[in-house]
Amino acid sequence: MNGAATLAGLLYGTTQTQPEERLLRAGPWSALLVDGALRDIRFGGIEVIRSIAYVVRDKDWGTCVPQTGGMKIDQDANAFRVSYTALCTNPDGQRVAYDATIQCDASGTLAYRATSKAASDFLTTRCGFCVLHPIDGVAGAPARVEHSNGAVEDSKFPELIDPWQPFKDIRAIEHRLACGLSIRVALTGDTFEMEDQRNWSDASFKTYSRPLELPWPYVIETDTRNEQSVELRVTTVESGVAPSIATGPDEGEGVDDTSVIELAEGSESMPALGIAIAPDEVDAALANLDLLAQLGPQQLSLHFDPLAGHSTDELTRFAQLQRVSAIPAVLECALPGVAAPLQELETIAAQICEAGLTLSGIVVSPAVHQQSNPPGSQSPYCPPLDEVYLAARRVFPALRLGGGMLSYFTELNRKRPPLMLVDWVTHATCPIVHAADDRSVMQTLQAVPHITRSCRALIGAQAYAIGPISLGMRQNPYGSRVMPNPHRQRIAMACDDPRQHAQFGAAWLAGYAAALAGAGLECLTLGALTGPRGLASAAEETRRYPIFYVAQVLARMAGKPRLVCYARHPREVACVAVRDERGNLKGVLANLTSQPRTVRVISGKIALFELGPFDCVQFE
């Protein structure tokens, strides 16, 4: 490989070329053009909209990557215009094409229009515009919604994560920022509504077309045409005219590029570190006991799903791993829901006893909750949760009992366990549910504090755990499969994300741990020891990925007093630091960007660090 390919492999685990980003400017406007979509839309240097994109999904909610052509870009100091064509093909070979134009002028208006036509019957779950609002400065902000019948609703963006759609039947939505800007988004061509994407750890509110209450997937018939548009208008709240704001530097730029982190004493302890082990990963774990010992996790999280064919044999292998590793184990149990909960749990208890598996706790969650039931879908039968957890208490009286979701916060937000019957609450997260580009994945770290605050509002002071987490998706709650990724690319909903094994993955984990500050988390569980979502290779000659060393540091920090880290540029750098038993400072520092960063850490004395792209360093 040449030098560029080698560097890409080290940073991202893949040599896949990222789509070109073209910077567009018009007076106070700036935006990035990426594969026909607009990203990071700013006015006077302030991000007003995160993204506008024409999105085509397949039947499993996978994104059909547009093949763009005929790209024409005209711009001067006061305006830009873009036009192009695009073709989207779903996994069944069905195609839909669209023509798009984007116009923007310095007066404060940006318009994006698209006309689509199905080349054949096209099976899809979505085909139309998606508009993403950022969450910082928008969550909790006043909003005015215009509906299709002309009615106007004064409301606000949800501050805590809304389990359902905060706004429906949107013809236009306007919100105000604290800086004095008012942002109005008008939509035509379909019925639009909004979902709170923080549920899935996306750092955005998403306005999209075709309400979820309508049947999906659905067929767009051959030659069916659809025209949609998005018009974005920015004004000042006071005068109602476009503000004259000089174009300032984009976020992260400035005279002093040094990132400063100040450390202060806090009242929180670092969470324990867990590692998830699935039945098909036990042999690899047994073959890499030295790796497990070097990692030093405080907990094994063992996945058990009778509907997937798991039985006493899998529990026996778990028991062997638990005995030889001497690490406390929690069983993550997907309750089948075929028979009565008490009957099923008694069967599982007998299997655990027969296998000789010693547990410190058990998480019980109905297997049906591993699949999402979005608004408008038919929810399959699920035993009453009170009945499930009362039965679990009766069958496992000596074990700590966990409740919640084996999938994501989304489902926990919609289906809440009876808190008086469980000892702790848990859910997982995945950063590539909706998008898998580098920018979007790192931006998910912005949503983590919103998730933990919203979960705390639900559970109060109840013990709280998160996991398993990894860049790759272990199971798709929204479709029939995770997406195949044979060429190791950046693909949403893929189990195997190549960045998990590269510097990017290490920086993301450090950023995730930093974003958990203030959550009072009991345990953070990682996706796997080896394999696609793991920390090391399972080949004959074990290779530790960069993420392994970050995880190892986090395991050593467990239970120690966590320091509060104040960062000047929190989206660029992340820091996790503790005081050890002797009061000594220990920490890990990560660069969350693809550009070199100088970082000054202040804690009594000043330490200066030069970090390369996605670098992670330990300090003391």
Domain segments of the chain as ranges: 18-236, 252-264+561-620, 271-558
Using pLDDT thresholds of 50, 70 and 90, give the confidence band for residue 433. very high
Residues 6+ apart with CB under 8 A from 197: 132, 203, 204, 205, 206, 434, 447
pLDDT above 80 for 238: no
d(CA 303, CA 326): 18
Q: How far is Cα 247 from Cα 179, in angstroms, rounded to an integer?
A: 15
Give pLDDT, residue 423: 98
Arithmetic mean of pLDDT, 249-269? 72
The answer on pLDDT for 258 being more than 90 is no
pLDDT of res. 246: 38
Do 285 and 292 meet the contact criterion of CB atoms below 8 Å apart? Answer: yes
pLDDT tens-digit map of 563-577: 999 998 889 999 999
> Percent of the chain having pLDDT more than 70?
96
Looking at the predicted structure, is the pLDDT value of residue 1 above 80?
Answer: no
**What pLDDT is recorded for position 376?**
65
Residue whose C-alpha is closest to residue 268's, from 508, 135, 452, 457 = 452
* Structural fold of domain 18-236: Beta-galactosidase; Chain A, domain 5 (2.70.98)
pLDDT the model gives residue 380: 83
Question: By percentage, how much of the chain surpasses pLDDT 90?
Answer: 85
Higher pLDDT, 486 or 478: 486
* Fold of the 252-264+561-620 domain: Immunoglobulin-like (2.60.40)
Is the confidence at residue 534, as pLDDT, over 80? yes
What was the pLDDT predicted at 250? 42
* Cβ atoms of 356 and 318 closer than 8 Å: no
CATH of domain 271-558: 3.20.20.80
In the predicted model, what is the mean pLDDT of the chain?
93
Task: Please give the average per-residue pLDDT across 473-480, as a whole number.
Answer: 86
Residue 77 clears pLDDT 60, i.e. is over it: yes
User: What's the confidence (pLDDT) of residue 374?
Assistant: 73
**Torsion of the alpha carbons at 574, 579, 583 and 588, rounded to the nearest 10:** -40
Q: What does the pLDDT look like over 338-386, one tens digit per residue? A: 999 999 999 999 999 999 999 999 999 999 999 887 776 677 888 999 9
> Above 70 in pLDDT, residue 393?
yes
Q: Containing H/E element for 68?
A: strand 67-75
**Which residue type, as a one-letter code, is found at position 210?**
R
Per-residue pLDDT, averaged over 478-507, amounts to: 93
**Predicted pLDDT of residue 253:** 40
- pLDDT tens, residue by residue, 590-618: 999 999 999 999 988 888 999 999 999 99
Report the b/e string of 37-74 with b at 16+ CB within 10 A.
bbbbbbbbebbbbbbbbbbbbbbbbbbbebeeeeeeee
Which is it for strands 126-134 and 46-57: parallel, antiparallel or unpaired?
antiparallel
Tell me: pLDDT of 227 over 60: yes
Tell me, what's the pLDDT at 172?
98
Residue 247 has pLDDT above 60, yes or no: no
Q: What is the pLDDT of residue 476?
A: 87
Give helix then strand counts, H and E, for the chain: 10, 34
Which range has the worst mean pLDDT, 6-20, 89-103, 502-516? Answer: 6-20
What's the mean pLDDT in 543-562?
97
